[in-house]
RNA sequence: GGCCCGUUCGUCUAGGGGUUAGGACGCCAGAUUUUCAUUCUGGUAGCAGGGGUUCGAUUCCCCUACGGGCUACCA
């Protein structure tokens, strides 16, 4: 089985937007496939039409594309094992349910959902939990308890029935999970899961096993929430006679909330100010919108990098990886067993790294749309200079504006604290004198401006800090920003002098 | 409740019978920057608890606690 071609699948259900845990599952599948020269497929598990959400499948595909997790087979692109939507494979499953029925691995059950619900409620009253299985199936309405011809009659007359897997008694099911090692389940504690529903659709369990078999999946890499159904799936392979091509299983740890209890959920993001979805998502029913990494300014390479390190590590101290690098060294054996809390701060750090990695020209291109949105017009040359000056203090493209808007906009107000501290009675006079120095300056370049300024200051014997701080205030509106003379240079001589004069005028009114 | 999985700094993690328990994020401090930020340097902080096994357990075993998942004609 080890010499089988590696074929893995990401099999989401289109019940809403894919969240970052799902993206990580897709990523690990993708990396595993790439590492072993295998195939990575996308399969849409839409056996429950009640939970179908329009747009969800498109969202999943767009998310995968944004992350660069290209699949080799799947909806839209096809492949030799299609179709890749379970709803389009509906006709395939019945014969396998029948096969289970014939071989005695499954039975018909006629209990209605209402009847079962009533039994459940009754059990609950006694502080017990009802389970349709070994202990109870003999007392319920199914082909195990009914006369044979009664069963045939019910099936023939089209009475609603369901097919349940007949869990074998007193059996230990042991399976070697790649991440967790040997895991053993005792069948008496398991229930008889429905494998085929009354509406003619298989449940997840049957569809999943049948499709993995038919699509020649070699490794099932999925979230830990599926670990409990591993024995059912293992038994299904056995019952269907597919043990020889049974895939290996790997159950990934879950991603947990940054604080508090439980796994990361839809709403955690907005509460704490970070996205839990790759892309922005609008819930058509409630009108709620959820943030996406893409729209929040994260680079896909950063997103992939942070996801990869959440629950996996290379065993070295390296933390920055490209997708290609990851594909070269990824291994399921190095996936951790415990759930990981997601840390939004570290996510920002990753983005900062990739942000700093970009060239000034690249960032300029990314910044231009922001400028346009702010209705600012400026030459590419100036934008490039601004980017070059402020990039080192940013983590996101949007921050270029926060850090550099004063290059394009005259300050509307002046930071009060700085005014109080730095705007002294002699300040206007000194700054007026500096304007004179600037006016007569020759080449308007940072070193020369600084030189002219310094010479004048020394001549006058003025304190540098006492003049530079108010000067910065005039140009920026506060006490932040890059090198003061670089700001002067980028602003240009006229604009610099003009801003100083404007500030003197405005602050005199105080 | 039952079954299954897990537990190393606040967080992500390395390690694994004898280590000064390593790194990263965060935080704090110093240096540089006549501003702020960056950058650099340094620091803070951890093996859940109890029993074994052993010359020696953070590492192996058991128990407890805690955390997580599953327990639908959902996936």
Q: What is the pLDDT of residues A138-188, one digit of tens each?
A: 999 999 999 999 999 999 998 999 999 999 999 999 999 999 999 999 999
A160 touches strand B (CB under 7 A): yes
Residue A126 has pLDDT above 90, yes or no: no
A470 touches strand B (CB under 7 A): no
Q: How far apart are CA A416 and CA A413, in angstroms?
A: 9
The yes-or-no answer on residue A266 being catalytic is yes
Non-local CB neighbours of A446 within 8 Å, separated by 6+ positions: A483, A485, A486, A488, A489
* DSSP one-letter code for A167: P
Please count the other Cβ atoms lying within 10 Å of the Cβ belonging to residue A223: 16
Does the ipTM surpass 0.85?
A: yes
> How much of chain A, in percent, has pLDDT values that exceed 90?
86
A131 touches strand B (CB under 7 A): yes
Non-local CB neighbours of A69 within 8 Å, separated by 6+ positions: A10, A23, A26, A27, A30, A40
Q: What is the pLDDT of residue A313?
A: 96
State residue A296 phi and psi, 5-degree precision.
-80, 5
Q: How far apart are CA A96 and CA A211, in angstroms?
A: 11
Sheet bearing A162-165, strands edge to edge: A106-109, A162-165, A194-196
Q: Which tens digits make up the pLDDT trace of A302-319?
A: 999 999 999 999 999 999
Instruction: Tell me if the pTM is above 0.90.
Output: yes
> Are the C-beta atoms of A387 and A363 separated by less than 8 Å?
yes
Distance, first Cα to last Cα, chain A: 83
Q: What is the pLDDT of residue A510?
A: 57
* DSSP one-letter code for A133: B
Half-sphere exposure in the Cβ direction for A179 (13 Å, CA): 24
> Are the C-beta atoms of A211 and A44 separated by less than 8 Å?
no
> Are the C-beta atoms of A298 and A346 separated by less than 8 Å?
no
Protein-proximal positions, strand B, CB < 7 A: 1-8, 10-15, 22-26, 33-39, 67-75
Residue A480 has pLDDT above 80, yes or no: yes
Q: Which tens digits make up the pLDDT trace of A424-450?
A: 888 999 999 999 999 888 789 999 999
A112 touches strand B (CB under 7 A): yes
Q: What is the pLDDT of residue A266?
A: 83
CA dihedral A287, A291, A294, A300 (to 10 degrees): -130
Q: What is the pLDDT of residue A1?
A: 45
- Cis peptide leading into residue A83 (ω within 30°): yes
Residue A2 has pLDDT above 90, yes or no: no
Q: What is the mean pLDDT of chain A?
A: 94
Q: For A476-480, what is the mean pLDDT?
A: 92
Q: Say which nucleotide is closest to residue A345, CA to C1' distance.
A: B25
- Grade residue A261 by pLDDT with cuts at 50, 70 and 90: confident
């Amino acid at each position: 089985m080890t010499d089988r071609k590696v074929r893995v699948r990401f099999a989401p259900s289109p019940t809403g937007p894919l969240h970052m845990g799902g993206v990580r599952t897709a990523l690990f599948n993708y990396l595993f496939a790439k590492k072993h020269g295998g195939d990575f497929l996308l399969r849409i598990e839409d056996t429950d039409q009640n939970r179908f959400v329009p747009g969800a499948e498109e969202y999943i595909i767009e998310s995968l594309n944004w992350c660069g997790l290209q699949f080799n087979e799947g909806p839209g692109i096809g492949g030799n094992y299609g179709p890749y939507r379970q709803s389009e494979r509906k006709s395939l499953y019945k014969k396998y349910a029948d096969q289970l029925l014939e071989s005695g691995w499954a039975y018909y059950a006629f209990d209605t959902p209402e009847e079962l619900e009533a039994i459940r409620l009754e059990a609950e009253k006694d502080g017990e939990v009802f389970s349709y299985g070994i202990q109870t199936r003999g007392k319920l309405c199914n082909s195990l308890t009914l006369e044979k011809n009664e069963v045939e009659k019910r099936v023939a007359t089209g009475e609603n029935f369901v097919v349940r897997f007949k869990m074998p008694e007193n059996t230990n099911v042991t399976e070697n999970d790649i991440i967790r090692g040997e895991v053993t389940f005792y069948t008496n504690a398991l229930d008889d899961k429905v494998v085929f529903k009354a509406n003619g659709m298989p449940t997840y369990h049957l569809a999943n096993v049948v499709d993995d078999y038919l699509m020649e999946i070699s490794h099932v890499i999925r979230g830990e929430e599926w670990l409990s159904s591993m024995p059912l799936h293992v038994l299904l392979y056995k019952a269907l006679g597919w043990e020889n091509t049974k895939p290996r299983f790997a159950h990934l740890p879950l991603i947990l909330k940054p604080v508090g209890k439980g796994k990361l959920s839809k709403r955690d993001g907005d509460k704490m100010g970070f996205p839990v979805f790759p892309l922005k998502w609008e819930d058509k029913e409630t009108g709620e919108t959820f943030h996406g990494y893409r729209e929040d300014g994260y680079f896909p390479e950063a997103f992939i990098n942070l996801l990869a390190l959440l629950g996996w590590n290379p065993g070295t101290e390296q933390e920055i990886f490209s997708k290609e690098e990851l594909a070269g060294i990824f291994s399921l054996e190095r996936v951790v067993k415990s759930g990981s809390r997601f840390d939004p701060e570290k996510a920002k750090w990753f983005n900062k790294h990739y942000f700093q990695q970009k060239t000034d020209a690249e960032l300029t291109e990314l910044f231009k749309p922001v400028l346009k949105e702010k209705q600012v017009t400026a030459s590419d040359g100036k934008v490039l200079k601004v980017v070059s000056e402020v990039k080192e203090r940013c983590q996101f493209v949007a921050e270029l504006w926060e850090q550099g808007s004063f290059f394009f906009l005259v300050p509307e107000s002046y930071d009060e604290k700085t005014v109080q501290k730095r705007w002294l009675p002699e300040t206007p006079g000194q700054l007026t004198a500096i304007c004179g120095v600037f006016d007569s300056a020759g080449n308007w370049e940072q070193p020369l401006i600084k030189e002219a300024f310094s010479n004048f200051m020394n001549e006058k014997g003025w304190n540098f800090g006492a003049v530079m701080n108010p000067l910065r205030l005039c140009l920026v509106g506060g006490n932040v920003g890059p090198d003061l003379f670089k700001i002067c240079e980028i602003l240009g001589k006229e604009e610099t002098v003009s801003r100083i004069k404007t500030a003197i005028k405005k602050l005199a009114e105080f």
